[in-house]
Amino acid sequence: MTENTTHFGFTKIPYEEKVHRVTQVFDSVATRYDLMNDLMSCGIHRLWKRFTIQLSGVRRGQKVLDLAGGTGDLAAKFARLVGKEGQVVLADINAAMLQVGRDRLLNQGILVNYAQVDAESLPFADNSFDIITMAFGLRNVSDKEAAIRSIRRVLKPGGRALILEFSELKIRPLKPLYDLYSFKVLPLLGQLMLKDAESYRYLAESIRMHPNQDTFLEMMQNAGFERCDYHNLSGGIVAVHRGYKL
């Protein structure tokens, strides 16, 4: 891959095209995003997100940025935990996803701030947030290293970043079944539910192209994060990486 290209799933494309293509994917799935997540994971994605929040150690009064926050499930839980003294910013690059999240939280009476942002160049001041989370969004970013550096920049000293993302399955006997599910069942679900098999084919491919656990850990360390670690969930289907800005 050259300096001016990146991957969209398994396809190599010009760097500047990826944002447009990812936008098309999430414009297509926004209104049924959570329903599809429940179907695809049998609801387990909610447990993965709950573990991420527990791992964050969030406290009352803190300031939290939820990147790629989409429909707002993490932001809603953070808002309850930080209380009125704290602040939560729900951020996403995709306007359709952000609108779904805004409408949902307002219907629940949950007040947070909203921002349409690009994770590669966050429009916040240095040292702004105690906690930054990004759940299932980093693999869609064109320049992951730039995003990680940007996240670290806007963290306060002592703050922590948590990246929840699909990763490398570590239970080898299950890999053929996992591949069958990823490349056959997921596109079929997308076709049946949304008449959109291609978005879920991209999902499966983007997971395979994302760095594995140890590679991503090294990327966080190279970006200046310290005390980095990761936790495999569901046999490594997903992993939560955590790093501190000291």
Known binding-site residues for S-adenosyl-L-methionine equal 71, 92, 118-119
Strands (E) in 3-153, as ranges, are 5-8, 11-14, 63-67, 87-92, 113-116, 129-135
- At residue 35, φ and ψ (nearest 5 deg) are -60, -45
Spatial neighbors of 171 by CB under 8 A, at least 6 apart, are 235, 236
Burial track 168-189 (b if 16+ CB lie within 10 A, e otherwise):
bbeeeeeeeeeeeebeeebbeb
Residues placed in the known binding site: 71, 92, 118-119
Q: Is 167 helix (H, G, I), strand (E, B) or coil?
A: coil
- Specify the amino acid at residue 232: N
